[in-house]
Amino acid sequence: MDFVLTELDSGTNRVSLTGRLDAAGAESIDRRFSAAVGSVARNALVDLTEVSFVASLGLRMFISTARVLQRRGAQMILFGAQPQVMDVFETIALDQMIPIVATEAEARARLAR
């Protein structure tokens, strides 16, 4: 499990994750992810295209970091989730806490709203 953070503009990062966000995967990146994404008041567009699985610890990582960003006046948006990952998001009604869209373009459009 790994991620790459790219600065898209002065207020927005893209964070691309790769791998399985199961218990072991979440544990291996949780601190680095929260530190890199949550320590700055910048929006985070999280690219899940290359993520094959998200377990509850992975959901927890997104939710807690999204909350930190919210307190800093920034926003997290998830995009590119694979169908199986989308099923998990659907079950826990994640969209009531974090916006979920299909593509990076939609994520950017969402920020502009």
Give the nearer residue to other proteins in terms of CB position, either 84 or 103: 84
Structure-block tokens of residue 71: 């307190």
| CB distance 73 to 40 below 8 Å | no
What is the smallest separation between the CB atom of 97 and other proteins, expressed in angstroms? 6
Give the nearer residue to other proteins in terms of CB position, either 67 or 104: 67
Give the nearer residue to other proteins in terms of CB position, either 10 or 96: 96
Beta bridge mates, 15: 5, 46
Contacting positions for other proteins (CB under 8 A): 20, 22-24, 52-53, 55-57, 59-60, 63-64, 84, 87, 90-94, 96-97
Among residues 63, 47, 45, 39, which one has the least CA distance to residue 111?
45
